[in-house]
Structure 1
Amino acid sequence: MLAKRDDSSMTSYGAIRPRTPDLSDEDDNPVARSVDHFLMSTQQRRVPPAISLPDRRRPYLFDRHTSQASLHSSNQDGGGSVADFHREHNMAIRYRFFSRLDPGGTTLLMPNHVVEPLLFSILPFDDFKDSEGKQSSIVTIFSIWNTMMGTSLLAMPWALQQAGLGLGIILMLLMALLAVYTAYRVVESPEGLTLDVESSTAEFSDICRYFWGKPGEYVAVFFSVIVLLGGVIVYWVLMSNFLFFTGNIVYESLQPNSTTLPVMANKTFTCDVYCPTPQETNAYEYMPADWDETIEALDGDVPDFKDWFDYGHIWSLRGTVPVLLALLTFPLMNFKSPTFFTKFNVFGTVSVMYLLFFTFSKALECGFNVDIWNEASPNFAALYSLKFPALTGTLALSYFIHNAVLTVLRNQKNPENNARDLSIGYALSAICYIFIGFTFYSAFPTFRSCIADNFLNNFGSGDVLSAAARVFLLFQMITVLPLLMYLIRAQLSYLATGDVYPGLSYVCLLNLGIISIAVLFAIFYPYVGSILRYVGSVSGLIYIFTLPCIVHLRRLKLQGRLTKTQIVIHVGIILLGVLNLIGQFLV
């Protein structure tokens, strides 16, 4: 039974001024209060100078036995609510926990495992928020767009070529509609549930724990980490590529009598693009060209070790460069807080804009080169292809925001606009993916099979725009990489130890293991398109197709609104995810 509150002692924050309560029995009379206004980070807390917080919180009483008797009586009269009783009881338990952490009740921060929205914000600065730390719809929309715009932009022309021009564009639109629907199901999932955390700070893993206990939480966190790990691997492959070509430019420019930037020798240039040699034709292309001679020399005479210190051995794309990159970036990943790197989030937007400009400028230079009739023409563009699962797998990762969408919308000023803002964010993302995919594909002046899974590889080191893109993207990815590593560490560490930073040695060991995996991929399997589609199809099956659907069905069942039509629709969505995963092994 709640103690009567004196309204005159209320402050403008809804807290109650202290007075000494009579708490003779802690077990029967736990205390509780709402922590809505205190569960916020220090960066988001803004208190007007004219308003002061209370010195400490005033508790109110919750009598378990009296409340149960009152609940029983109310139910007999047709009133009362079981959910209200459990909500008050959960509040009592949480209050006791926070009171032990902060006995004074004056400094209660957001729990460490709750991901801060500024990690995903396009403009993570206080100037773009109101006095309550809320952001407008325009900032929310572009944060959603910025979070989805990633490395898959570079692979989109290749993915479109795998599906064919006509079928590919249709699939891009359909996948966007499907992803925005399931993302909205994630957004509305905390509504009406009595969670063991505040709904405003709930993550989707908390919803899964509510329905399926710890196993549900483990599944959600595991596949969320898989997506982030896939992102780290793709970043490492691309950063190694960008660093390698940038180093080549610097090396060639420093050579005696060097007056021009290097060009790719022995390649057929057409409209300043070339068809790179498919790496799949040589499983050991990461090794030097004279590797066989070196092995033979080891069997006989001692080799001249001076050859091992020439530029070709020291600066190898699938050898030394990924390792050197690890040595340079490893110290950046061990910081306790990644707040500093969030200041560079805006560079993600700039990089996307630059890629849009880069693609458009190349289209103006090369023109429109599409022939849908003559299959023998170098400009032939197939309207469809049976390899389309490569596109749907890539899109499953391109449109993936489901593990972060609750965080992005947490500071929404007008939550009633969530559906609209989410839809606009997805529409902008689909437009960007289609623009880059279609524009590059239609302007490519030779066989479409030459389009690389990183379209910058279709340009030589001497191309000014592509060289600038590599340098800029390298810097941008180096600033984003610590954020990805932090998100992986925060989820795994909190799940395993209850602390997002268990210690420097633990963090270094975890980061070393993740980096080792990324380096191995960069050396032995640096195929961006394949990594994207496999990671996207696996994690998309769980996070895009399955979990949002079954959570929605469970909520409908609890509300008594579950119908056969709902079951058929959402089971069909799950089957599409299964087919998408199976299709990756058939192309």
Structure 2
Amino acid sequence: MRDLIKKYRNIVQGKFESEVEDEDESQPLVSSTTSSNKSFGTVFRVSDTEQSYNGSCDDKIVKPVSMMPVTPRELKKQLSKKYSLDLYPNQFLDVYFNGDILPENYSPKKHTKLSFPDEQPKKEEEEEKNSSIVTIFAVWNTMLGSSLLAISWGIEKTGLFPGIIINFVIGAICLYTAYLLLRVNGKHSVIGGRCEVPELCKLLLGSWAEMLAKVFSMIVLIGANIVYWILMSNFLFNLVSSLHAFIYDGEVADYESVICPKDVGPSNKTTLIQASSEIKSIFFDKYWDLYSTVPVILAFVIFPMLNFKNASIFMKFNSLGTISVIYLIGFSFIKFFTWGVHWPDVSIVFDLKPTFVALSGMLTMSYFIHNIIISMMKNNRHQENNGRDLTIAFGLVTFTYSAIGGLLYISFPLAKWCIEDNILNNFGKYDKLVIFGRGLLFFQLSTVFPLLAYMLRKDIFSNFDFMKKKSEKLPVIIMNALLVLVCILFACFLPRIGTIIRYIGALSGMVYVFLLPNLLHIYSLRKENKLTSLRLLFHVSIIILGVLNLLSQFLISDN
């Protein structure tokens, strides 16, 4: 017992074997030459020594140090300190590899603390997340687009009350399928990895579904670019025509007149809109034509913007989208109170027209947000509220479409079949409120179009190996030129945004809205052994509905 007490005293005092008076005793249990990380117990070296490293472990010079027992509480206190790798280079490594403990009186030159990834970054990440109200209006603003100008035309193709009902039905289906994507992503996505609809399709359905999602996402972008080019050509044409009319035609009494372009043939439509009979306007009318020269002239304005190296400059004008939506809502209410109510025949109000599928196809595009919904809702601060916030956003979109389309349809003073797929075409060139709206929308679309072109070009380059040379400018210029050429051809020969929206919407919606979300959900239920015959029948019925929506577009005419 006496020998054990003597050994313990030597250990506590930190004596070396050579300093032990009893030469006959065996080597101590723990000595300074024994590595602390190889010893047993909570005994660590105090780092009050000077250490020098000369490139190898053999050259390490260690001065004698004292040994001390460390309780678990003290050890936890030491290890919980925030040390900087720059300020404590050797000492920090000794703590984790050799079991060293930094002394309390060790002070660095700079009092900088090391931020561990599980503390401060979490707060910063939460601050970068959006609140529910921001998420709701972001989804609302994203879905509201050019369909606002055509929604009254779609209601005219359907009937007032049937059109509002179809609006609610298509909105509910799109909401449900978008929510399915969020649920499937929450269950099967890779934590920390990029997971969009194409990645989910590849993970659960296979490469064929991934390619299908990517292709139809690009088709949506192409369709949006075409529609925007047609609208920009229309706005530019009417803005210049209005300016020319104010200069040469003088004052006009009925400057808020409503026109019906369908009263005359397509060849005379331009003449009707311009409404100028003076000889000095003949030259202007000949060379400033909506369906020939204006789309080409527009290319000289937009094409240089497509070749900007950095497209982020156009993102600064995203707020114009909200301003444009607010303008169109205010415009609808102003015209409603100015014109009053002009009810059509009862049969037109309540009867469902055979051309109602034009509205269903267009609304599929209007509610299309499925290719980016996962990314948008991922930025929501409270992920548990995604379903609620998404429902509120879709409800606001449904209300906005119903309000604008219904108000303009009810108050339109002429025959309802005169309503154009671009409602602004039904107004004369002297209406100052319309002129302001055209200018605002033209500027907004001229900043959005380069962003859509950039997104399309990025998708094409990333999916085709032979176009992945990002350093070369020639492929970028060629791609932009082809896109502008396609847009010009549509603006000249098929300048009907309602027709383009309903075809693109029905085609892409069949894949992104009706097919892929339901297939992903069916696979998820099957994997969880929760797939029943009733659930399978319900989701297959939605897919069939999307196929019928597409096929029916070829059975009607817009004339």
CA distance in 2, matches of 1:51, 1:425: 43
For the 8 Å contact 1:494–1:500, the answer to whether it is kept is: no
CA distance in 1, matches of 2:269, 2:474: 33
What one-letter code is carried by the residue in structure 1 that aligns with 2:426?
N
Q: Quote the residue 2:523 is aligned against.
A: 554
**Shift of the alpha carbon at 1:384?**
2.1
SS at match of 1:183: helix
Per-residue deviation, residues 250-288 of structure 1 (Å, max 9, x unmatched): 222333xx5326979xxxxxx831211368x54x67999
For the 8 Å contact 2:261–2:269, the answer to whether it is kept is: no
CA distance in 1, matches of 2:316, 2:541: 42
SS at match of 2:554: coil
Q: Quote the residue 2:298 is aligned against.
A: 325
CA distance in 2, matches of 1:184, 1:338: 31
Q: Quote the residue 2:223 is aligned against.
A: 230
Q: How does 1:368-517 map to 2 (within 5 A)?
A: 368-373=341-346, 381=349, 383-497=351-465, 501=470, 503-517=472-486
**Shift of the alpha carbon at 1:434?**
0.1
Q: Quote the residue 1:275 is aligned against.
A: 260
For the 8 Å contact 1:397–1:535, the answer to whether it is kept is: yes
Q: Quote the residue 1:259 is aligned against.
A: 250
Q: Quote the residue 1:339 is aligned against.
A: 312
For the 8 Å contact 2:161–2:349, the answer to whether it is kept is: no
**Shift of the alpha carbon at 1:247?**
0.5
Larger radius of gyration: 2
CA distance in 1, matches of 2:428, 2:549: 35
User: Matched residue pairs, number?
Assistant: 443
Q: 1:10 to 1:310 in 2, by over 3 A?
A: farther
CA distance in 2, matches of 1:10, 1:209: 45
Aligned counterpart in structure 2 of residue 206 of structure 1, from 196, 199, 202: 199
For the 8 Å contact 2:239–2:438, the answer to whether it is kept is: yes
1:157 aligns with 2:152: yes
**Shift of the alpha carbon at 1:213?**
3.4
**Shift of the alpha carbon at 1:413?**
0.9
CA distance in 2, matches of 1:410, 1:502: 32
For the 8 Å contact 1:164–1:384, the answer to whether it is kept is: yes
Aligned counterpart in structure 1 of residue 240 of structure 2, from 247, 250, 254: 247
CA distance in 2, matches of 1:488, 1:504: 16
CA distance in 1, matches of 2:360, 2:503: 10
CA distance in 2, matches of 1:251, 1:433: 34
CA distance in 2, matches of 1:449, 1:541: 29
What one-letter code is carried by the residue in structure 2 that aligns with 1:151?
S
Per-residue deviation, residues 98-146 of structure 1 (Å, max 9, x unmatched): xxxxxxxxxxxxxxxxxxxxxxxxxxxxxxx976411111110000001
What one-letter code is carried by the residue in structure 1 that aligns with 2:340?
G
Q: Quote the residue 1:315 is aligned against.
A: 288
CA distance in 2, matches of 1:148, 1:574: 22
1:526 aligns with 2:495: yes
Aligned counterpart in structure 2 of residue 358 of structure 1, from 331, 344, 348: 331
CA distance in 2, matches of 1:397, 1:218: 20
Q: 1:273 to 1:554 in 2, by over 3 A?
A: same
**What TM-score do you get using the length of structure 1 for normalisation?**
0.70
What one-letter code is carried by the residue in structure 2 that aligns with 1:552?
H
For the 8 Å contact 1:546–1:574, the answer to whether it is kept is: yes
Gaps of 5+ in 1: 1-5, 21-48, 58-128, 265-270, 290-306
1:138 aligns with 2:123: no
CA distance in 2, matches of 1:404, 1:244: 33
Q: 1:262 to 1:508 in 2, by over 3 A?
A: farther
CA distance in 1, matches of 2:354, 2:438: 32
What one-letter code is carried by the residue in structure 1 that aligns with 2:240?
G
For the 8 Å contact 2:218–2:456, the answer to whether it is kept is: yes
For the 8 Å contact 2:158–2:356, the answer to whether it is kept is: yes
For the 8 Å contact 2:514–2:546, the answer to whether it is kept is: yes
Q: Quote the residue 2:52 is aligned against.
A: none
CA distance in 1, matches of 2:471, 2:501: 31
**What TM-score do you get using the length of structure 2 for normalisation?**
0.74
CA distance in 2, matches of 1:19, 1:567: 58
Gaps of 5+ in 2: 1-74, 84-88, 95-110, 118-123, 273-279
Q: Tell me the C-alpha RMSD between the 2 structures.
A: 3.0
CA distance in 1, matches of 2:382, 2:410: 41
What one-letter code is carried by the residue in structure 2 that aligns with 1:573?
I
Q: 1:317 to 1:198 in 2, by over 3 A?
A: same
Q: Quote the residue 1:45 is aligned against.
A: none
SS at match of 2:354: coil
CA distance in 1, matches of 2:189, 2:539: 24
Q: 1:152 to 1:139 in 2, by over 3 A?
A: same
CA distance in 2, matches of 1:51, 1:506: 49
Q: Quote the residue 1:539 is aligned against.
A: 508
Task: Identify the range of structure 1 (237-246 vs 130-139) with the bigger mean alpha-carbon deviation.
Answer: 130-139
**Shift of the alpha carbon at 1:543?**
0.4
SS at match of 2:495: coil
**Shift of the alpha carbon at 1:509?**
1.1
For the 8 Å contact 1:493–1:502, the answer to whether it is kept is: no
For the 8 Å contact 1:274–1:458, the answer to whether it is kept is: yes
Per-residue deviation, residues 68-121 of structure 1 (Å, max 9, x unmatched): xxxxxxxxxxxxxxxxxxxxxxxxxxxxxxxxxxxxxxxxxxxxxxxxxxxxxx
What one-letter code is carried by the residue in structure 1 that aligns with 2:529?
G
Q: Quote the residue 2:340 is aligned against.
A: 367
Q: 1:288 to 1:174 in 2, by over 3 A?
A: closer
Q: Quote the residue 1:114 is aligned against.
A: none
SS at match of 2:368: coil
1:578 aligns with 2:547: yes
**Shift of the alpha carbon at 1:459?**
0.2
**Shift of the alpha carbon at 1:576?**
0.6
For the 8 Å contact 1:261–1:461, the answer to whether it is kept is: no
SS at match of 1:135: coil
SS at match of 2:185: coil
What one-letter code is carried by the residue in structure 1 that aligns with 2:479?
L
Q: 1:308 to 1:353 in 2, by over 3 A?
A: closer
CA distance in 1, matches of 2:457, 2:82: 39
CA distance in 2, matches of 1:585, 1:429: 27
**Shift of the alpha carbon at 1:506?**
1.4
What one-letter code is carried by the residue in structure 1 that aligns with 2:419?
I
Q: 1:496 to 1:315 in 2, by over 3 A?
A: same
Q: 1:337 to 1:262 in 2, by over 3 A?
A: farther
**Shift of the alpha carbon at 1:336?**
3.6
**Shift of the alpha carbon at 1:404?**
1.1
SS at match of 1:585: helix
**Shift of the alpha carbon at 1:445?**
1.2
For the 8 Å contact 2:291–2:492, the answer to whether it is kept is: yes
SS at match of 1:310: helix
